[in-house]
Every structure is written in structure tokens, then in C-alpha cells.
Structure 1
Amino acid sequence: MDWLISTAEKLTTGISNFNITVVACLILALKLITAAKKIFDFHDEYFVKRRIDRLESLKSKVEVGKTLHVYLEESIASECFRITSGISTSTKYMEYLIKLSAVGKWSRFQLKAISEHLRFKPLTTEPEIVIPKMDFVGAALGAICLFFFPFAGIYYFIFFLLANIQNGPFYGLISFIACLGGGLILSGDFIKYLVATRAKAYLQANPIV
């Protein structure tokens, strides 16, 4: 009976401390997001924009129709595509991904996952989604991480919440976030594999003209 009372008191105190910890973490997260946004805005303004302006300036000095003029046009198009999609790739892959985007079935993240599996096969004019057999191994390991790490995070969160140590809820929350983040990062191969296989099946049934 005493053990139950003691556990209940720890849980009540832990929940109270947990609420304070959550608020502090949310404020910190908002500040970090704001700072990251400012950094990205600075990068886009002073690096990306200047690169495109340089390419535009060089293009204007080259005679239209020349090989270099075409190359500069393709470079500008690729740079604009990279900014909007986050995908750095060649012109042929870019054109194919734009066609996929026009279908309206895949998000920006999904298109990025698909782009990593695009390959040109011999005697083909357009790239195809190619999934090597070894990718299945990485996907299987990623699936294990996706399900294992969140459960590990819950375990550590409850452990620190009930443990009689100072700042236990804080350590529990940090452990949970770390496990959740680690699971998501390590499960990347599984998510990309899933997106690519589903996209390949869809395109086989509904070829893009």
C-alpha cells in the first residue's frame, strides 16, 4: 500500500514538472525554428539569388543558339528547380520529375525520395524507377528502427518520470525526443523504399505520356 502511495506521489510530482518542461521545450523549439528560418532566408538572399543573377548575366553575353547559351539556360532552370523542390539533379531527371509533379499524386518529400531511385536504362529516352534488391535490406532495418525506437523512448520517459532523481521528467522527455528523432532518421531508407515501390507500381499501371 505504501508503495502505491509513494508511486502516486512521484507520478503527480513528475506530471507537474513535466508540464513545466514541455512549455520550456516548446519555447526553445520556437526560438530555434525562428533562427533557422532567418539563416535559410539569408542563404537564399545572398547566395542562391546571387548565383542565379550571375548565370543570367553570363547568359546575356552569349549569343542565342550557341551551346554555351543553352547550357546556361539549363543551369538556371536546374537551379530554380533545386530551390523549389530541394532536389539537385540533371536536366533530363528534372523534366521527368516535373511530369510526375504535374500528376498531383506525390508531395515534395515523396518526389525527392523517387528522384533517388531514378535511372536511365539502355535504349530508353526517359528515366525509370529502379529499386535494387539491396535496398530491401536497408528498408527492413529502417522499419525495425521506426517501430523499436519510439517504444524505447516511451520506456525511458516512464522510467525517468517515476525515478527518484532531480529533473527526472526533463531527462525522460529528452530521451523520448532523442529516440523518436533517431527512429525517424534511421527509418529514412524504409520510407523512401515504400514511396518508390508504390510510385513504380502506380506508373506501371498508369504510364505518363
Structure 2
Amino acid sequence: MGHRLSKIYTRTGDDGTTGLGDGVRIAKYDLRMQAIGDVDETNCAVGLLVAELANDDALQPWLARIQHRLFDLGGELCLPDYHLIKEEHATELEQWLDQLNDDLPMLKNFILPGGSKAAAAAHQARAVCRRAERTIAALSAADAQSALPGTRPTLQAYINRLSDFLFVAARTVARRDGGQEVLWQQGV
């Protein structure tokens, strides 16, 4: 895997560029860097959710695995020929989603983010994840128009499934913590 930093500041980015894992330098505002940053921010938001949950919470092992996978996903974006995210990772999220969804009532209306502090953190993580999803989709479209290695559809599937998982996790946590889902009321 790419270069390792022995010190945090290198001064190489002072010119507005940054290095990918293979040493190629690109603009810090490049769509690839935006995608990497959005995935990193998603991981941070998941970390905040983890911090809001009890250590013995049933979601903890799943969220830990998700955080590691988000690092893998960022690694793939940083090294386009490096493949760590697999189709079965999205399938695993679907299985977790199904387990959580089985205990939830059917959703008949939009809900407002909140319900408890942990549920609000899950909603925040979901919203940040949706941004990462949009950026990865834009990067994939841009890659298709260039000579660069394309962003694999597996990454888009994983991040899409993750945002769904975080939504259902928010609903689960809100109910479990005694909070109530607040239904959206149009025009209030």
C-alpha cells in the first residue's frame, strides 16, 4: 500500500496539490480528493455515533467493521487499482439492515432527524454518507470520461447501502433509547 508518513507535515501540499497513494499529485480540489474527504468525514460521523452508544450496544461490532471498511474504501479511491471493497460487503450491510428492519414498524411518512442523541448522530452520519455517495457517483461519471482507471460500481453500491443502514440504525436507536420518531408534518 502507498507511502507512509513519518511526520505529519511535509509542506508538499503548500502548492494546493496532494499525493495519492501511488505518488501521483493532484489538486486538493480534485473530485477524487473530495470523494476521499467525504468518505473520511463519513467515518468521523460514524465515530461520533459509536461514542454515543454504550460499549455493549449490539451495533458496536457492526459499526467497527464499517469504520474499517470506510478506510478500505478511501484506500481504493487513493489507489484506483487497489481493490478492497467487495460485493459481499454490500450484501453484509443488507443482512444487517434486514435484521434491524424486522423490529421496526412500517414507515408511512418522512421522519425528522433526532429521537435521541445517538439517533441524531446516526442521522448525521447518514446525511454525510449520502454526500459521499453523491461525490463518488460524480467521480465515477468523470472517470468514465477520462483515461483514468474507473471507480468501481462496488464502491457506489457499498456507500449506498451504508446510508440505508445508517437510516435504519437511527430509527432503531431512537426507539431503543426511548425516544420517539417525529413524523414530518407538511406546512407546519
The structure number with the bigger radius of gyration is: 1
Structure 2 length normalisation: TM-score? 0.29
Structure 1 length normalisation: TM-score? 0.27
Pick 1 or 2: higher relative contact order, CA cutoff 8 A, min separation 6.
2
Q: Say which structure is richer in helix.
A: 1
